[in-house]
């Protein structure tokens, strides 16, 4: 991996998550549980928990909620000094957790947030990327609107110009893209073209390339990966999960990583007794990036990603807080009480 060893810089919106308590519907009773979240911040917290130096770049209001966001990041070891303040509000999203055969449901309320009102000129990437070994961004930022799309492209271009490798999570959010006359294929293609690491599956690659892939399972994913490697010369790794939802409490998950010279795939694991699935993809990204940053091979790296995402389902809140010891215990199959 190119770049000088240093911190992982993550860029994106931070929000409050307001959840119905227990397994209730939203406002079934007049109370909500509150946690702080955001896809890129989840990756920053997850990597910090695994021992990596991380920094979050974002924009929040200059009020108590903005202070709480920065305090949350600091609590888990993330450098919050580049979370600036600006006009607007803190974005919100509401969650009705699923139960049984009822799926979880999310409602966004993030219009006119401090982050969404930001422009590319609000971020000094020379300073923000100084000493960075990796830049992580996702497809959520450009989905917020045309101004945010320009901001995401400017950030990725700045990292590329400075030789900082880019990790990009597709994180396709149809609800966000459909709110404005967007062209997600064109915008996301420009971002992936600058990335070395892509988190996405064959459906994401189909969106980017405008083509379908035949076959099934591993063959289809490899076909899609090879097409992506041909289309995007900078890309060197593609990581994804495959999830089969039995019900809200039981999922079966497998993980895969493709490189230009080969691939590694895990067996499917049953994840039961799910406490909170939100942030599972961000936990997977943290586990994969941990393997990349510590220069592990593809097989260990993909199993690390699976371990962190599987463990995240046991933890309330948006972010993974698991350590390298937790990964080692998971990979060793240690399920009994640690004494």
> What is the per-residue pLDDT across 15-42, written as a single tens digit (0 to 9) for each?
999 999 999 999 999 999 999 999 999 9
Say if residue 201's pLDDT is above 60: yes
pLDDT one-digit tens code per residue, 161-171? 999 999 999 99
d(CA 211, CA 224): 9
Give the pLDDT band of residue 214 (cuts 50, 70, 90).
Answer: confident
Domain ranges, ordered by start, for the chain: 7-331
Closest CA to 43 of 171, 220, 205: 171
188 CB contacts (<8 Å, ≥6 apart)? Answer: 139, 142, 170, 207, 208
Say if residue 206's pLDDT is above 60: yes
Give the pLDDT band of residue 335 (cuts 50, 70, 90).
Answer: low
Residue 69: what pLDDT? 98
Tokens in use for 180? 């404005």
Residue 236: what pLDDT? 98
pLDDT one-digit tens code per residue, 105-163? 999 999 999 999 999 999 999 999 999 999 999 999 999 999 999 999 999 999 999 99
By CB neighbour count within 10 A (0-12 exposed, 13-18 middle, 19+ buried), where does 4 fall?
exposed
Phi, psi of 9 (to 5 degrees): -100, 125
The average confidence (pLDDT) of the chain is 95
66 CB contacts (<8 Å, ≥6 apart)? Answer: 60, 83, 85, 90, 114
Give the pLDDT band of residue 52 (cuts 50, 70, 90).
Answer: very high
In 10 A of CB 114, how many CB atoms? Answer: 26
Average pLDDT over residues 51-63: 98
Residue 216: what pLDDT? 78
pLDDT one-digit tens code per residue, 234-261? 999 999 999 999 999 999 999 999 999 9
Catalytic-labelled residue, pool 169, 282, 326, 336: 282
Sign for the CA dihedral angle at 235, 239, 244, 245 comes to negative
Tokens in use for 302? 């993909």
Say if residue 4's pLDDT is above 70: no
Residue 339: what pLDDT? 57
Residue 5: what pLDDT? 59
Q: What is the DSSP string of 290-310?
A: HHHHTT--HHHHHHHHHHHHH
- CATH numeric code, 7-331: 3.40.1190.20
Sign for the CA dihedral angle at 131, 127, 161, 208 comes to positive
Residue 159: what pLDDT? 98
Tokens in use for 36? 């702080």
Say if residue 197's pLDDT is above 50: yes
Average pLDDT over residues 263-284: 96
In 10 A of CB 31, how many CB atoms? Answer: 10
Residue 217: what pLDDT? 83
pLDDT one-digit tens code per residue, 281-332? 999 999 999 999 999 999 999 999 999 999 999 999 999 999 999 999 999 9
Of the chain, the percentage scoring pLDDT greater than 70 comes to: 97
Say whether 62 is catalytic.
no
Map tokens 């698991």 to a residue. Answer: 322
Residue 3: what pLDDT? 39
Say if residue 224's pLDDT is above 80: yes
Average pLDDT over residues 60-72: 98
Residue 36 contacts residue 91 (beta carbons within 8 Å): no
Residue 6: what pLDDT? 83
Residue 337: what pLDDT? 59
d(CA 282, CA 273): 20
Average pLDDT over residues 68-89: 98
pTM of this structure: 0.96
Strands 91-96 and 105-109 come out as: antiparallel
List, in sequence order, the alpha helices (H) in the chain: 39-49, 64-75, 125-128, 140-143, 146-161, 174-177, 184-192, 202-209, 217-231, 280-293, 298-312, 324-331
Residue 2: what pLDDT? 41
> How many angstroms from the chain centroid is the CA of residue 49?
15
To the nearest 10°, the Cα dihedral for 168, 107, 82, 199? -10
């Amino acid at each position: 991996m190119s770049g000088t060893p240093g911190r992982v810089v993550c860029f994106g919106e931070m929000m409050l998550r307001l959840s119905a308590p227990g397994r209730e519907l939203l406002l079934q009773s007049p109370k909500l549980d509150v946690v702080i979240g955001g896809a890129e911040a989840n990756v920053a917290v997850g990597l910090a928990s695994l021992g990596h130096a991380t920094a979050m770049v974002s924009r929040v209001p200059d009020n108590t909620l903005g202070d709480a966001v920065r305090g949350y990041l600091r609590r888990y070891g993330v450098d919050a000094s580049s979370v600036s303040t600006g006009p607007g509000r803190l974005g919100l999203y509401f969650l009705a957790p699923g139960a049984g055969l009822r799926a979880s449901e999310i409602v966004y309320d993030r219009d006119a947030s401090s982050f969404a009102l930001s422009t590319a000129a609000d971020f000094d990437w020379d300073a923000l990327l100084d000493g960075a070994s990796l830049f992580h961004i996702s497809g959520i930022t450009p989905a917020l609107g045309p101004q945010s799309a320009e901001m995401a492209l400017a950030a990725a271009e700045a990292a590329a110009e400075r030789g900082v490798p880019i990790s990009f999570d597709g994180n396709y959010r149809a609800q966000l893209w459909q709110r404005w006359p967007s062209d997600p294929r064109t915008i996301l293609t420009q971002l992936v073209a600058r990335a070395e690491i892509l988190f996405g599956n064959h459906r994401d690659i189909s969106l980017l390339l405008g083509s379908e892939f035949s076959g099934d399972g591993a063959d289809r994913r490899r076909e899609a990966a090879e097409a992506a490697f041909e289309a995007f010369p900078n890309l060197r790794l593609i990581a994804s999960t495959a999830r089969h939802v039995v019900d809200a409490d039981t999922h079966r998950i497998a993980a895969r990583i493709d490189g230009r010279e080969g691939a590694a795939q895990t067996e499917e694991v049953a994840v039961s007794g799910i406490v909170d699935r939100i942030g599972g993809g961000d936990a997977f990204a943290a586990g994969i990036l941990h393997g990349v940053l510590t220069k592990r091979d593809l097989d260990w790296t993909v199993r690390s990603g699976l371990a962190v995402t599987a463990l995240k389902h046991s933890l309330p809140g948006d972010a993974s807080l698991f350590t390298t010891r937790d990964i080692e215990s998971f990979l060793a199959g240690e399920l009994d009480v640690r004494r």
